[in-house]
Amino acid sequence: MTPWNCTPHKDRSEMKETVEISRLDGVLEMLRENTSASISDIAEHFHVSQMTIRRDLQKLSEQGQIVRIPGGARIERWRGMERTYLERLGNMSPAKRLIGKAAASLIADGQSVVLDSGTTTLYVARELRSRRNVVVITFSLAVLEELAGAEEIRLELTGGVYRASSHDLIGHGVAESLRSFYADCILFGAAAVSFTHGVMVHDPDAQRELLQAGRKKVLLVDSSKIGIEATYRLCKIEECDLIVTDSQISSGDLERLRRITDVLVAE
């Protein structure tokens, strides 16, 4: 017979599971209402630890209901090309995280940086949140969301027309804005690095004015994109002052790149 003041183990487990299911439903509802949310905001909303929310988000991600992003999550969307952006965000994410951390280390307190709208630069933005007196210039709405609330970061958003497929701005407004900036560093991505055709992209609306908006040009590209080709040429490899990539790059590709420019391997 169970004492009156003790809860059977099975009952406690069932209660815990019920609370967890209720919280998972609540997290989904919160993301549906806001599209995205940070781990800290979700944890504060449900009065639980950030570790608990990380586990919840992992379960929802495994169920295909959300997509993890640096520092939080976004609701999974199945409309149009937006899904493509979310899939790219998850592709090679461990490598992109290391590249983002290495790239952010190049930016000192008090400096200015232009961030491209690629998925890798989102990891850079996450690392920059703790910096002091840094100016970030971008046309990426994802970067804007990541740095929103970072008190020591001054955000400069370009003009332009919203594009849902990449959650960024495009058009003449972006180009005109970029012409008015000259930052300490430009951090940009690419779809491919071809040893024949140079740095390449698939995006016909790629902002080439970006490359003139700062002093030091740093290309962020994971190893899966090196030695392949894309649709449009962006610039020559030698125009990059530095390339940041991951440790999975082949020794042959690394040697070839280092004959052309400086390379930082993020580890």
Question: In the beta sheet, which residues pair with residue 68?
Answer: 73
In a domain, 2, yes or no: no
* Domain identity same for 128 and 95: yes
Res 1: pLDDT: 43
Q: How many CB atoms lie within 10 A of CB 163?
A: 19
Residues 92 and 205 both lie in one domain? yes
Quick one: which H or E segment has residue 263? strand 262-266
pLDDT computed for residue 64 by the predictor? 67
81 is a domain residue: no
Same domain, 33 and 94: no
Measure CA 131 to chain center.
Answer: 17
Q: Which two tokens stand for residue 135?
A: 């100016």
Strand pairing class (262-266; 242-246) = parallel
Q: Do 193 and 213 belong together in one domain?
A: yes
Q: How many domains is the chain built from?
A: 2
Instruction: Supply the angle between the helices 120-128 and 93-104 in degrees, to the nearest 10.
Output: 50
Residue 245 maps to a domain: yes
pLDDT of residue 13: 63
The last residue of a domain, from among 76, 111, 128: 76
The reply to whether 179 and 259 lie within a common domain is yes
Decide if 216 contacts 186 (C-beta within 8 A).
yes
What pLDDT does residue 79 have? 39
Q: Final residue of a domain: which of 76, 96, 116?
A: 76
Q: Last residue of a domain, which of 26, 49, 76? A: 76
| Residue at 4 is within a domain | no
Same structural domain for residues 243 and 143?
yes
144 and 205 housed in the same domain: yes
User: Measured at the alpha carbon of residue 178, what is the angle toward residues 121 and 34, in degrees to the nearest 5?
Assistant: 50
- What single letter denotes the amino acid at residue 41? D
CATH, residue 26: 1.10.10.10
Q: Is residue 258 part of a domain?
A: yes
* Backbone Cα Rg of the chain: 21
Domain containing 165 equals 88-266
Residues 138, 260: one domain? yes
Report pTM: 0.69
Q: Are residues 20 and 98 in the same domain?
A: no
Burial 96-132 (b: 16+ CB within 10 A, else e): bbbbbbbbbebbeeeebbbbbbbbbbbbbbbbbbebe
Per DSSP bridges, beta strands 214-220 and 198-201 are unpaired
**Are 220 and 246 within 8 A, CB to CB?**
no
Return the pLDDT at 82: 42
Would you state the pLDDT for residue 206? 84
Same domain for 214 and 185:
yes
Which of these, 67, 171, 188, lies nearest to 137 by C-alpha position? 188
Handedness of CA 116, 182, 226, 196 (dihedral sign): positive
> Are both 143 and 250 inside the same structural domain?
yes
pLDDT at 80: 36
The pLDDT tens digits for 213-249 are 999 999 999 999 999 999 999 999 999 999 999 999 9
Is 256 part of any domain?
Answer: yes
Residues with pLDDT less than 50, the chain: 1-7, 9-10, 78-83
The pLDDT of residue 66 is: 81
238 is a domain residue: yes
Tokens (6 digits) for 92:
């090679």
Residues 136 and 18 grouped into a single domain: no
Could you give the strand order of the β-sheet that contains 192-194, starting from the edge strand earlier in sequence? Answer: 192-194, 198-201, 232-235
H/E run at residue 98: helix 93-104
